[in-house]
Amino acid sequence: MIFFAVLIQAAYCPDTPAQIKAVFMSHPNSIAAHSRAILTLGLPLIGSHLAQFAVTMTDAIMLGWYDIEVLAQQVLGGMLFFVLFIFGSGFAWAVMPMVAEAEGAGRPREVRRVTRMAMWISVAFGLASMPLFWWSGGVLRGLGQSAVVAEGAQDYLRIAGWGIFPALLVMVLKSYLSALERTQMVLWVTLAAVVVNIFVNYALIFGHWGAPEMGIRGAAWASVAVQAVSAVLLSVYAAWATPEHTLFKRFWRADPEALRRVFRLGWPIGITALAEVALFGASSVMLGWLGTLPLAAHGIALQITSATFMVHLGLSNVATVRAGRALGRGDMAGLRRGAQVVIAMSLAMVVLTMVLFLAVPGPMMGAFVAPDDPDRAAVIALGSALLAAAALFQLADAGQVMALGLLRGVQDTRVPMVIAAISYWLVGVPLSYVFGFVLGWGGVGVWLGLAVGLAGAGGFMMHRFWARALRRLAQDAAAGA
C-alpha cells in the first residue's frame, strides 16, 4: 500500500521533489517504466500458463466423466510423461536468459545458434525418453502399481510419448519468443491449444461426431495433436516474425560450442525443476498415507494453489527475460530496479491470494465436489485447513520461484540447483513427515513442512542474487569499463 501511495503522490502532487518523480514516474529506470514493461511482457505469459493449466484440467475432467479407472491410468501415465518433460524442459528454459542477453547486447547470430541447438538437444532428449515410455508398464508395476492401471498407463504413453518431441520444441520456441518480448502469440497459440484439446478429446474419448470411441487412447492422440499443432503454429510465427534470425536456415548444421553452452546452463535448471516436482509428488504420497479423503482434499487444494502459482511463474519468466536483457546491455541499475519491481508485484499477488485462502476457502473447495457427494463436508473441511496453510505456502513458493527467475536471468543455475535440492529434500520432506506424522498435525503439517523447505530455498536464493550475483556483475562491469 505504501508503494501505491507514493506512486500516486509522485504522479499527481506538483510539489513532489523532482528526484522522487524521476524514481517513480518519468525516468527510463523508474518504477512506472519497469511496471509497464513487466505487465506488457508478463500478462500474456501469465495467461499462457493459465491456459496450459486448463489443458491439463480438461484432460482430467473429461476422462473422469468417461471412467474413473481410466482417469487413474492417465494420471499415472501423465505423471511419468510430466517428470521427463520437466527435466527435458531445462534446456528450453536455458534459451530464455541466453537469448535475452544476446538480444540486449545486439548479437543476433548468437540468438539463432543457442535456440537451434536447444532444439537439437530437445529432439535427442525425446529419443532417449521413448524406450521408457514404450516399456513403462514394467517400470510402473515395479513401483507397486496394479497391473491393470500400469498396463493402461503404458497404452497411453505408447501414443502420448510421441508428443514429447513437439512439446519440448514448443518450450524452446516459447522461451525464444518470450526472450524477444513477443509473448502475445505465445498466449494465442496456448489458448488455441485449449480449444483443440477440448474438441479432439470429446471426439476421440467418447466417440462423438463419427469418430471411434477410444477412451484413454483418444486422450493420448488428443495430447499429441495439441502439441503438434502448437509446435507448427509457433514455428511458422517465429520464421515469419523474426526473419533476421533465420532460425531454421541450415537447421541440420551442428554448432558444438553453442550446444555445450545450452547443455551446461540447461541441465541444472532441469534438475532443479525435477526436484520441485518430486517434492510435491512426495507430499501426495504422504497424504495418501492419511487416507482417501485427505488425499482428495490435498488434490483439490493443490489444483487451486497451482492456478495462483501460474501468476508467479509468469512473473518469474519476466524476471528472467528482463534480467537477461539488462545483463546484455550492461545495465546494472536497470537490473536492480527491475528485480525490485517484479518482486513487489509478486508480493502483491501473494497478499491477494492469502486473503482469498483465509476468507473463502469453503466455496473454492466446494466447486470441485459434487453437491450430493456424501463426503463433501469432510473434504471441504480438510481442504479449508490446507488452504489456510497454503496462505503461508504461497509466500514461500512465490519467493523461491522469483529468486530462481532472477538467477536464471544472470545465468546462475548450478548453485541454485544445490540450494533447491537441499532445501526441498533435506529440509522440506523430512519436516513434512515430522509435522504431519510425528507431531500428528496431519495434512496441514505436511503442507507446513513443504512451506519451510520452499522458504529456505527462496531465502538462500534471494540472498545469492542480491548479495553475490549483483555485486559480482557490478564488479565485472566496472572492470570492463
pLDDT given for residue 17 in this prediction: 52
Q: pLDDT tens per residue, the chain (481 residues)?
A: 333 333 434 443 444 454 544 444 455 567 777 778 777 776 777 777 777 777 777 776 777 667 656 766 776 677 778 888 888 888 888 888 888 888 877 888 888 888 989 999 999 999 999 998 888 888 777 766 667 777 888 888 899 889 889 989 988 998 888 888 887 888 888 888 888 888 888 888 888 887 888 787 888 888 888 889 889 998 999 888 888 877 787 778 878 888 899 899 888 988 888 888 888 777 777 777 777 677 777 777 877 888 888 888 888 888 888 888 888 877 787 888 888 888 999 999 889 988 888 888 888 887 766 677 777 788 788 888 888 888 877 888 888 899 998 998 888 888 889 999 999 999 988 999 999 899 988 888 888 898 899 999 989 999 888 886 666 666 655 555 5
How far, CA to CA in Å, does 316 sit from each of 5, 105, 263, 319? 25, 22, 21, 5
Give the chain as a 3 state SS string: CHHHHHHHHHHHCCCCCHHHHHHHHHCCCCHHHHHHHHHHHHHHHHHHHHHHHHHHHHHHHHHHHHCHHHHHHHHHHHHHHHHHHHHHHHHHHHHHHHHHHHHHCCCHHHHHHHHHHHHHHHHHHHHHHHHHHHCHHHHHHHCCCCHHHHHHHHHHHHHHHHHHHHHHHHHHHHHHHHHCCCCHHHHHHHHHHHHHHHHHHHHHHHCCCCCCCCCHHHHHHHHHHHHHHHHHHHHHHHHHHCHHHCCCCCCCCCCHHHHHHHHHHHHHHHHHHHHHHHHHHHHHHHHHHHCHHHHHHHHHHHHHHHHHHHHHHHHHHHHHHHHHHHHHHCCHHHHHHHHHHHHHHHHHHHHHHHHHHHHCHHHHHHCCCCCCCCCHHHHHHHHHHHHHHHHHHHHHHHHHHHHHHHHHHCCCCHHHHHHHHHHHHHHHHHHHHHHHHHCCCHHHHHHHHHHHHHHHHHHHHHHHHHHHHHHHHHHHHHHHC
Q: Which residues of 87-114 are buried (b: 16+ CB within 10 A; e: fewer)?
A: bbbbbbbbbbbbbbbbbbeeeeebbbbb
User: Any idea where the domains of the chain sit in the sequence?
Assistant: 47-254, 266-481
CB atoms under 10 Å from CB of 377, counted, come to 12
- Please state, in angstroms and rounded to a whole number, the distance separating the CA atoms of residues 409 and 329: 13
Q: Are residues 122 and 171 in contact, defined by beta-carbon separation less than 8 angstroms?
A: yes
**pTM for this model (two decimals):** 0.79
pLDDT given for residue 319 in this prediction: 87
